[in-house]
Amino acid sequence: MMRGYDDTSYGEGFADVYDDWYGDISDVEATVALVRELSTAAGGAPVLELGVGTGRLALPLAATGLEVHGVDASAAMLARMAAKPGGDLVQAVQGDMVDDLPTGPFSAVFVAYNTFFNLLTVERQQACMQAVADRLVLGGVFVLEAFVPDPNHDPSAGVSVRSVQVDRVVLSVITADPANQRAEGQYIDITEAGGVRLRPWSIRWCTVEQLDEMAATAGLTLADRWEDVGRTPFDATSERHVSVWRSTDQRP
């Protein structure tokens, strides 16, 4: 495990570049439409985004009229969301995705683009599933978007170039531990004016089967699984998944 890395490290390292680097990493319009439809079908209670970041998804979702809550460990990320138009529409909590979730109840909880894997142990991932399940209304859903690990390819350590500009070079350094389903790295951001900036990240990945087992342990039932938020059918060749688990237990 990367020495000194904690729940706040990713957000503090990437907040100033997140919108530029990842603003179009997935289909915002389709994600908003999907979450809104699932929330409405479950009764239209408030929705919660885990790892809300700078509001890439939460802000347009709130603009549709839903009550949107978001949790993120990074004060820098949340400050950038609050400064955007409509930032006051999202009820934000600074904290982690396990112990600091608002009480709800929620019709839908969602976590986008690998963010669930920022929880670095199986115990924390299971605890997050349980915390989400405990906050869903009857019939509410947990929507998770992530990559599908390739069983035929073990991630390996390496250095690559992310981007090159006249006054800026960004390098990517990755190390991996397939036996423990862990990968971590640094983006080394070198600029002529500012010198070197390190942007660390760390994940523990899961297979879809492992996620289904965690969900079942938390009392959630798989309702749908697609390749993407546009509902492309999921199959053995899919490199990503959007999984939807439903609460079928009456919560207090």
DSSP string over 173-217: EEEEEGGGTEEEEEEEEEETTTEEEEEEEEEE---HHHHHHHHHH
Question: Predicted confidence band at 8 (pLDDT cuts at 50, 70, 90)?
Answer: confident
At 179-193, the pLDDT tens digits run 999 999 999 999 988
At 156-211, the pLDDT tens digits run 789 999 999 999 999 999 999 999 999 999 999 999 888 999 999 999 999 999 99
Q: How far apart are the C-alpha atoms of 67 and 47, rounded to whole Å?
A: 6
Average pLDDT of the residues in 128-135:
98
- Residue 249 backbone phi and psi in degrees, to 5: -105, 140
Average pLDDT of every residue of the chain: 94
Quote helix, strand, coil % in the chain, to nearest 5.
Answer: 30, 35, 40
Give the orientation angle of helix 208-217 with respect to helix 122-133, to 10 degrees.
50
Write down the domain spans for the chain. 9-149+205-247, 158-203
Question: Predicted confidence band at 6 (pLDDT cuts at 50, 70, 90)?
Answer: confident
- To the nearest 10°, the Cα dihedral for 103, 107, 113, 116? 40
Question: Predicted confidence band at 236 (pLDDT cuts at 50, 70, 90)?
Answer: very high
**pLDDT for residue 252:** 41
* Topology annotation, domain 158-203: N-terminal domain of TfIIb (2.20.25)
Question: Predicted confidence band at 154 (pLDDT cuts at 50, 70, 90)?
Answer: low
Both structure tokens of 113: 């683009």
Matching residue, tokens 């938390």: 218
* Topology annotation, domain 9-149+205-247: Rossmann fold (3.40.50)
Q: Is 221 helix (H, G, I), strand (E, B) or coil?
A: strand
| pTM, two decimal places | 0.93
